[in-house]
Amino acid sequence: MRLVVDKREPANFRLPLVEMGFKERKLKAGDIIIGDMLVERKGSTQFVTDWFSGQLDWQIRNMFKRKKYRPAIIMEWEDLSKIMKWLPRLEKHLDKLNWRVLPIYKSDGREQTLAWIKEQVADLRKGKRLVRDGIVNPYKGSKREDKNAMRRTAAITALSRLPGIGDDRALKILNQYGTLSVALKKVHLWSKQVNGIGTKTVMRASKVINYRF
């Protein structure tokens, strides 16, 4: 049985696992290794932040590079009040990830996560497999395809963070204008040329795009 915890995890998370004889080291990907499962631990607020910044995409990609492990995510819903406005989109994104990419386990917080780890270790000692088969690697392909996917994701993420835009509208805008630079130059035309975008949204986005530092 193998249990490894990233040494950068807080002490109040690592110490309760001492009785299980875990190893402590700096992991290149993920936060916890249980047998052949590589787990990234995320709080709900951190998940949203990393989702918008592109950090989550990078972390999942990095986990899939460790071919001897099967990746998973455990989500800790510590304070939903902080992410209520993002919750519908977050749930949709989680369902899509969980179905297409990797298992996502949900937890109410640190204590439940620790209990979940102990359950996984107990199952492992009984010889049970921890992660379901059939996980799809969304990043498998040529380096050129990977780079194009990263650029596409970066462009959508950058545009989606403008007020009133979001992922769906960002994709519509980029499909209309082809590149991020052209889309930003033609922000004044969005309400006329892109379905679902009104003049108020254009005004709010324009203020950010044209903000002078």
- 23 and 63 share a domain? yes
Residue 136 lies in a domain: no
| Contact status, residue 53 vs residue 157, Cβ threshold 8 Å | yes
- 57 and 99 share a domain? yes
Number of domains making up the chain: 2
Confidence of residue 2 (pLDDT cuts 50, 70, 90): confident
| Contact status, residue 170 vs residue 152, Cβ threshold 8 Å | no
- 100 and 68 share a domain? yes
pLDDT, tens digit (0-9, with 9 covering 90-100), for 62-96: 888 887 888 888 888 765 666 666 667 766 766 66
Q: Within 13 Å of residue 153, how many CA atoms lie on the same side as its CB?
A: 17
- 97 and 196 share a domain? no
User: What per-residue confidence (pLDDT) applies to 13?
Assistant: 87
pLDDT of 135 higher than 60: no
Q: What are the residues whose beta carbons fall under 8 Å from the beta carbon of 31, sequence distance 6 or more?
A: 5, 6, 9, 39, 40, 41
- Domain range for 30 is 3-125
Residue 173 lies in a domain: yes
User: What per-residue confidence (pLDDT) applies to 79?
Assistant: 59
User: What per-residue confidence (pLDDT) applies to 101?
Assistant: 61
User: What per-residue confidence (pLDDT) applies to 141?
Assistant: 47
Confidence of residue 5 (pLDDT cuts 50, 70, 90): very high
pLDDT of 133 higher than 60: no
Percent residues over pLDDT 90 in the chain: 18
- 98 and 153 share a domain? no
3-state helix, strand, coil in the chain (%, to 5): 55, 15, 30
User: What is the arithmetic mean of pLDDT over 126-152?
Assistant: 55
- 7 and 94 share a domain? yes
Buried b / exposed e over 10-19, threshold 16 CB at 10 Å, is eeebbebbee
pLDDT of 99 higher than 90: no
User: What per-residue confidence (pLDDT) applies to 96?
Assistant: 66
Confidence of residue 136 (pLDDT cuts 50, 70, 90): very low
Query: Closest Cα partner for 42 from 110, 100, 121?
Result: 110
User: What per-residue confidence (pLDDT) applies to 47?
Assistant: 79
Confidence of residue 138 (pLDDT cuts 50, 70, 90): very low
Give 49 or 130, the one with higher predicted confidence: 49
Mean pLDDT of the chain: 79
Q: What are the residues whose beta carbons fall under 8 Å from the beta carbon of 184, sequence distance 6 or more?
A: 209
- 12 and 99 share a domain? yes
Q: Which of 64, 97, 125 is the last residue in one of the domains? A: 125
Confidence of residue 186 (pLDDT cuts 50, 70, 90): very high
**pTM for the predicted model, two decimal places:** 0.57
Residue 185 lies in a domain: yes
- 22 and 49 share a domain? yes
- 72 and 36 share a domain? yes
pLDDT of 140 higher than 60: no
User: What per-residue confidence (pLDDT) applies to 145?
Assistant: 47
- 36 and 71 share a domain? yes
Q: What are phi and psi of 68, to 5 degrees?
A: -80, -5
